Copies of this chain bind each other. A is one copy, B any other.
Amino acid sequence: MPRHPRIPDAGVTRLSLYLRELSRLEGEGASFVSSAELARALTLTSAQVRRDLSYFGQFGTSGRGYEIRRLKRIIPRILGLEGRMWRVALVGSGNLGSALLAYRGFRERGFVIKAVFDKDPRKVGRVVAGQRVEEAGWLADVVRGRRIQIGIIAVPAVAAQEVCRRLVRGGVRAILNFAPVSLAAPPHVKLRNVDLSVELESLSYYLSSLNANR
């Protein structure tokens, strides 16, 4: 991919949002969309949309906007989702893990879950969303053997760091962590934390500073 000068991190994240909105628009039969429309749908500004896209090329048409079909082909290419699959391991088959497994969106975007692990012997052997839950003991070896590139951590906080270590030992290059702890990983592994609790807490800040009470 071209990958021009300095591309804001925030902009990259928004590309997936554009992609999702484009699918919705296409489903409604639209064939062009303006930056203003996209912006309205996603609570952004039109300049933001244009700027984000302009980092990667000139995809729009003056006076008309962006051709939806074209953009739907281009964005996955930019994101590195085109013509390839990412091999994913999910660790933890509790409620959150199951929710992730059940989510169709991953597969649609090229993320294929190649292994599901759980420490709990009662869960091992079960089949969740077509995936057999495996013994977590040899996680690293299995991950390496199946050439898995991405790990998703959906285990309790106390277990997360150890799981992280094993995933790294197995050779993953990226980890998505849902456990409420900050994990340490070597610099060559891209680590992203998604913290369900932190989101709620910062909402509290805005609520309580906005108005006194209710």
Residues of A within 8 A of B (CB): 1, 3, 12-13, 15-17, 19-21, 24, 41-43, 78-81, 84, 86, 94-96, 98-100, 102-103, 105-106, 109-111, 147, 149-150, 152, 173-174, 176, 180-182, 184, 190, 192, 194-210, 214
**A180 and B3 contacting across the interface, CB-CB below 8 Å:** no
Determine how close the nearest CB of chain B comes to the CB of A170; give it in whole angstroms: 13
**A192 and B196 contacting across the interface, CB-CB below 8 Å:** no
Q: Add 9 more A-B contacts to A12-B202, A86-B204 (CB < 8 A).
A: A15-B201, A79-B208, A80-B205, A110-B204, A111-B204, A149-B207, A150-B203, A176-B199, A190-B210
**A3 and B209 contacting across the interface, CB-CB below 8 Å:** yes
- Tallying the copies of this chain within the complex gives 2
**For residue A111, which residue of chain B has the nearest CB?**
B200
Contacts of A96 in B (CB 8 A): 95-96, 99
**B182 and A203 contacting across the interface, CB-CB below 8 Å:** no
For A3, A106, A207, A210, the residue with the greatest tally of chain B CB atoms inside 10 Å of its CB is: A207
**For residue A94, which residue of chain B has the nearest CB?**
B99
27 A-B residue contacts at CB 8 Å? A3-B209, A16-B197, A19-B201, A21-B182, A24-B181, A43-B184, A79-B204, A79-B205, A79-B208, A80-B204, A80-B207, A84-B208, A86-B204, A86-B207, A95-B95, A95-B96, A96-B96, A98-B99, A106-B197, A109-B204, A111-B200, A150-B200, A173-B210, A174-B206, A176-B200, A190-B203, A190-B210
Determine how close the nearest CB of chain B comes to the CB of A200; give it in whole angstroms: 6
**A180 and B105 contacting across the interface, CB-CB below 8 Å:** yes
Determine how close the nearest CB of chain B comes to the CB of A182; give it in whole angstroms: 5
